[in-house]
């Protein structure tokens, strides 16, 4: 026999979040919520899948999520995603993020692979990243990276 939930506050179905906007504190839109990942044992939210359109889905861990609201999912920190521009500290274009390299055990970001054209690619460790938003901003100038 099922028990009806009465007088429970802040109760919402996970299905109601599908298609909601995923944004950060600066109002940058990252896509639409596709899935909510829940730990089977603890029933806690462990992450989400964000759809950026054209079959460009990516997963974000619970660490990125600030809260769920009626209109959107708010992120506490902006995520690094593939195919976003990479610029130096002066705003000069370096290339685009091609690949993300994570630590296998912790899934923590270790480095990013950046392409500049068809054949040029370069690895930048996480420590070289100064800021993240609509672009990834590196700590040094383009000339300093060439050295």
pLDDT per position as a tens digit, 11-54: 667 777 888 999 988 888 888 999 888 888 888 888 888 888 77
Q: Is the pTM higher than 0.85?
A: no
Could you give phi then psi for residue 111, rounded to 5 degrees? Answer: -160, 170
Report the percent of the chain where pLDDT is more than 90.
24
**What is the percentage of the chain residues whose pLDDT exceeds 70?**
89
Residues 6+ apart with CB under 8 A from 74: 23, 24, 25, 65, 66, 67, 68
Q: Residue 27's pLDDT is what?
A: 85
Which domains, and CATH codes, for the chain? 14-75 (2.30.30.240), 85-146 (2.30.30.240)
């Amino acid at each position: 026999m099922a028990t009806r939930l009465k007088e429970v506050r802040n109760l919402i179905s996970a299905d109601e979040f599908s298609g909601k906007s995923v944004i950060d504190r600066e109002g940058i839109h990252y896509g639409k919520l596709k899935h909510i990942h829940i730990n089977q044992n603890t029933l806690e939210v462990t992450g989400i899948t964000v759809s950026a359109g054209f079959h460009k889905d990516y997963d974000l861990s619970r660490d990125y999520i600030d809260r769920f609201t009626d209109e959107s999912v708010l992120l506490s920190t902006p995520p690094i995603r593939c195919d976003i521009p990479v610029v130096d500290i002066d705003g000069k274009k370096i290339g685009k993020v091609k690949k993300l390299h994570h630590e296998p055990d912790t899934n923590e970001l270790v480095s990013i692979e950046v392409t500049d054209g068809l054949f040029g690619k370069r690895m930048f460790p996480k420590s070289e990243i100064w800021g993240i938003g609509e672009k990834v901003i590196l700590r040094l100038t383009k000339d300093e990276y060439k050295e």
